[in-house]
Amino acid sequence: FFTNAIDTRTRGIDAVAEYTLRTSSLGAFRLSAAYSYNETKILSIADNPAALSSLNVVLFGRQAQRDLVVALPRTKLALTNDWSLGRVHALARATRFGRYIESSNVATGDRTFGGKWVADLDIGYDLTDRVTLAVGANNLFDTYPNRNGLIAADGSGAYGGFAPFGLSGGSYYARVGVSL
């Protein structure tokens, strides 16, 4: 069922600063900071289609509306250091995701999750111009959202249904990259 049921407006700002520092003995450091702030507002909602109203179904109810305006953080900050020295390189990033709200059809079921920092790390070595070995981690310190009530009998639900940085904690890898 496709519909054009809602009009929204998103306003915000993105700012990025980068600086490269080259040294003779310690290599090159490419530093960056990126910040974004966004706010979405609902401008209008179309009337519920008659076919759904007769079934007592609301097409775009409270939860769906709030998923558009509060389910994603309004703020995000990413600080990155991309370093290289000869064939060795590393990327370290710290990202802060702002607070977000997971909504339900009634206000008493809403859950607010606080902002969190997530760290990523990738360390690599270029064996040749075409082959790179790397190890790394996404969400290095295994960060999870705040535990926030509503835990089901099977243990699910402690962290809500979604998070801007995922719900499965850290992931770690070893990689061989080949450029053709």
C-alpha dist (Å) from residue 174 to 39, 92, 139: 38, 16, 15
Tokens at 180, concatenated: 């053709």
pLDDT band at 17 (very low <50, low <70, confident <90, very high): very high
Which of 25-39, 77-91, 123-137, 161-175 has the weakest average pLDDT? 161-175
pLDDT at 149 over 80: no
pTM: 0.86
Asked if pLDDT for residue 107 goes beyond 90, the answer is: no
Tokens of 135: 């190890």
**What local confidence, expressed as pLDDT, does residue 106 receive?**
84
Task: Identify the pLDDT of residue 151.
Answer: 67
| pLDDT for residue 150 is more than 70 | no
Mean pLDDT is highest, among 40-44, 54-58, 159-163, for 40-44
Q: Per-residue pLDDT for 1 more than 70?
A: no
Residue 24 CA: distances (Å) to CA of 85, 88, 89, 124, 162: 9, 15, 15, 20, 45
Neighbour count for residue 32 (Cβ, 10 Å) = 15
